[in-house]
Amino acid sequence: MSVLVPTSLDAARDALSANPSATVLAGGTDLMVEVNERRREVVDVIAVDRVAELRAWSHDPVSRTLTIGAAVTWSEIEDAPFLAWVPSLAQAARTVGSPQIRHAGTIGGNLGTCSPAGDGLPPLSALEAVVHLTGPGGERSLPFAEFMTGPKRNARAAGELITAVTVPVLRGPQGYAKVGVRNAMVIATAGVALVCDADAGGVRLALGSVGPVILRCPEAEAIVAAEADFAAGRLAEPALRAAAEAARAAARPIDDHRSTAAYRRHAVGVLTARLLRRAFPHD
Amino acid sequence: MTEATTEMYVLHVNGETREVRDAAPGESLLFVLRERLGLMGAKGACEQGECGSCSVLVDESLVCSCLVLAASAVGRRIVTVEGIAPPGAPTDVQQAFVDAGAVQCGFCTPGLVMATHSLLERVAEPTELEIREELSGNICRCTGYGRIIDAVQRVAVARRGGGA
């Protein structure tokens, strides 16, 4: 067994290209659970948590986008300046695990694991994030909706490294809300992200933990987009209820050890209504 | 780029250079600290990052040592509860835990002490809500947390120069 700790993206890419079956280790908060429980054996590891390019982020005020390196941690994302630029993602960051988990866990790791319960994923879906990868075949970028292909499945090929994610900086309310058995340190039973684009009059809703992938809710989004007054922060109660019902209907939950499908569907309606009331406080 | 092999790698723990030899693949930092380096302060319980009893500082960041691949921590500064004060000379946080009665069985205490040091480094005078959120990754099954929060507040007050 060997553990490589590259500090540059070139070194990390070369190491992974030379050994495509090596395990990529970011914060370790998912991988080490599997290792500790003997569900996974690691042989060769490439630890990417000290790769300078992956630890960086940049804000482009011209294109109004934010590009966040894959090894940026949730504890960094939960605070300023991310809180002002991408509030839904920052709010989700604050709900990830505990402080210990947020100090280690990364946005790239959330994408690499691609659990439907990953708290970072509904905001990335609602923000219509673009995921950047690099590998032996060069660099490519793809929309989040094409990146996540199933529960714990994604479009990353062997030998490819997730390098960053780009999200727009939008004007308008955003939020993330989830339910679980505790306020802290809990895997989401259901999670909902709301992102508004006040300049385009657009609304995006994305659901986590209630389907094989993060689910968008086109019908609910269309109701809010048609009925909401962004300038006045106003959404009439009947429209709000109709949107929450449409989100409820869009969920595709299953029964498992964490919740029944019926409860998950109910929670989606409650969380959607809650986020919409926060975003549009006047009815 | 550093490379650590399981035959031998070096960790920096509590200001000392410690060699780890003939490790098995996948060993966590918690395992190496306890079983190879004889540092029993960090406790092993859940092994999945839920309980916080294995909390240590890695480059001044509070993490669960059970979720750190030990060989990936080469070159980082690791501080365990043994490294924050010499025996018999407790830190203000440790003393406050004793004074406030924040210790019962003691299993969670090293993790909570590390979490409290980490919190008070970043937030000098945390509110009760901030304390609860910051310590949410450390589970205590004895105290009900009231006296732990009291201990944290005592340290904050004392560091500000106020009376008890």
The complex's ipTM works out to: 0.96
Q: Do A32 and B66 touch (CB under 8 A)?
A: yes
Is residue B2 in a domain? no
- Per-residue pLDDT of B133-156, as tens digits, reads 999 999 999 999 999 999 999 999
**Whole-angstrom Cα Rg for chain B:** 16
* Amino acid code (one letter) for B25: P
User: What's the structural domain count of chain B?
Assistant: 2
Task: Note whether B104 and B58 are same-domain residues.
Answer: no
Average pLDDT in the A126-145 region?
97
pLDDT value of residue B7: 80
Q: Is residue B110 part of a domain?
A: yes
B1 is a domain residue: no
Axis crossing angle, helix A218-227 with helix A237-250, rounded to the nearest 10: 170
Are residue B79 and residue B49 in the same domain, yes or no? yes
B68, A184: Cβ pair inside 8 Å?
Answer: no
**A174-279 belongs to CATH 3.50.50.60:** no
Q: For A70-97, write each residue's pLDDT tens digit.
A: 999 999 999 999 999 999 999 999 999 9
Q: Give the residue from B36, B86, B93, B33 showing the smallest Cα distance to B64.
A: B33
Find out whether A280 and A269 touch, Cβ atoms under 8 Å. no
* pLDDT, averaged across chain B: 95
Q: Give the pLDDT score at B163.
A: 58
Comparing CB atoms, the residue among A11, A98, A104 nearest residue B52 is A98
What residues in B contact A5, CB-CB < 8 Å? 1-4, 72, 74-75
Question: What is the domain range of residue B135?
Answer: 92-160
Of B113, B120, B13, B123, residue with least CA distance to B70: B13
Share of chain A above pLDDT 90, in %: 97
State both tokens at A51.
């790769």
- Which CATH number belongs to the domain containing residue B135 in this structure? 1.10.150.120
Q: Pick B55's closest partner by Cβ from A1, A41, A100.
A: A100
- What is the percentage of chain A residues whose pLDDT exceeds 70? 100
On whether residue B77 sits in a domain, the answer given is yes
CATH of span A2-168 = 3.30.465.10
* pLDDT at residue number B5: 75
The verdict on residue B97 lying in a domain is yes
Domain ranges across chain A: 2-168, 174-279
> Are both B18 and B53 inside the same structural domain?
yes
Chain segment B39-72, per-residue pLDDT in tens: 999 999 999 999 999 999 999 999 999 999 999 9
Query: What does the pLDDT look like over A139-173, one tens digit per residue?
Result: 999 999 999 999 999 999 999 999 999 999 999 99
Residues of A with Cβ-Cβ distance to B67 under 8 angstroms: 27-29, 32-33, 100-101, 104
Final residue of a structural domain among B32, B58, B83: B83
Q: Are residues B106 and B140 in the same domain?
A: yes
Residues B96-114 have a mean pLDDT of: 98
At B74, which CATH number? 3.10.20.30
Q: Among B48, B74, B133, whose Cβ lies nearest the Cβ of A184?
A: B133
Please, which pLDDT band fits residue B1 given cuts at 50, 70 and 90?
confident
Report the pLDDT value the prediction gives residue A12, as an integer from 0 to 100. Answer: 97
pLDDT-derived band of residue A192, with 50, 70 and 90 as boundaries? very high
